């Protein structure tokens, strides 16, 4: 149901339960967590691509199973979203199909998400008697309040272009451009130093409730710590000497040859 392919610094996780539209079944969520375990244990991996087989990226919850068991807990999905959010690894979404309900949460939690321009998105939960509760935590911060309210309440489908306009993904692309843009994103990410990337990722989330002065003091301390590292000295030397820094890797791998 979930396939994992590791090629040097990039791991690709593929939702492969095509016959069931890649629903978030217990088995799929378990295999997603297992894939993250493998990635976490591989120090060479610096970026993860999440993608799909078939015409549907992810159709959300396994409604058949939930109807039978009276409503399964959502811990598997919430834990997965939390792991992606807190991971120092950079996650890139390659959304090559329709993306509904919980699937939108998967797309939104990625650090950078690119989708086929023919993909349809939607928060369909209210039409089956529930609400997009878990995924609201990763979707609402990316959206204007009015846009989130309309999308959640109407429950209708909208295009990948609209998903990008709403901030849920970064871009909607034609089929013949999607893979090239994913490769370009990976190439950019692999030019960054891993600890610096992790720090930059964390900065985009901030800390709600922290005062301006406290936030500025913490940012100054972080900046000083980063500049004091050997990696920063290497990066600045590489810049001045007009050469790649020691950590730079290229994607696709053929570019390195």
Q: Given 18, 31, 44, 125, which residue is catalytic?
A: 125
Neighbours of 10 (CB within 10 A): 24
Q: Is 125 a catalytic residue?
A: yes
End-to-end CA distance of the chain: 34
Tell me the pairing of strands 120-122 and 157-159. antiparallel
Q: Which residues pair with 25 in a beta bridge?
A: none
- Token pair for residue 164? 């990008």
Residues 47/186, Cβ–Cβ less than 8 Å: yes
Interior angle at CA 79, CA 107 and CA 4, nearest 5: 60
Neighbours of 110 (CB within 10 A): 22
Tokens 């994607």 -> residue: 251
Residue 124 to residue 109: CA distance in whole angstroms: 18
Active-site amino acid positions? 125
């Amino acid at each position: 149901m979930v396939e994992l392919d590791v090629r040097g610094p990039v791991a690709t996780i593929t939702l492969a339960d095509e016959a069931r539209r890649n629903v978030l079944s217990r088995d799929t969520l378990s295999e997603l967590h297992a894939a993250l375990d493998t990635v976490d244990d591989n120090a060479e991996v610096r970026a993860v691509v999440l993608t799909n087989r078939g015409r549907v990226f992810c159709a959300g919850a396994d409604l058949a199973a939930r109807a039978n068991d009276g409503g399964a807990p959502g811990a598997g999905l919430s834990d997965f979203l939390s792991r992606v959010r807190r991971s120092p690894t950079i996650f890139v979404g390659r959304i090559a199909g329709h993306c509904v309900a919980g699937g939108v949460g998967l797309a939104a939690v990625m650090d950078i998400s690119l989708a086929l321009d023919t993909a349809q998105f939607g928060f369909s939960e209210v039409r089956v008697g529930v609400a997009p509760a878990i995924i609201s935590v990763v979707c609402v911060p990316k959206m204007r309040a009015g846009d989130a309210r309309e999308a959640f309440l109407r429950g209708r489908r909208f295009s990948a272009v609209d998903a990008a306009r709403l901030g849920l993904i970064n871009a909607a692309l034609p089929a013949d451009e999607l893979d090239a843009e994913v490769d370009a994103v990976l190439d950019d990410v692999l030019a960054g130093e891993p600890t610096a990337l992790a720090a930059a990722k964390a900065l985009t989330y901030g800390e709600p409730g922290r005062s301006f002065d406290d936030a500025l003091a913490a940012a100054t301390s972080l900046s000083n710590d980063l500049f004091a590292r050997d990696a920063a000295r290497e990066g600045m030397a590489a810049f001045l000497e007009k050469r790649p820094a020691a950590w730079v890797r290229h994607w696709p791998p053929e570019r390195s040859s």
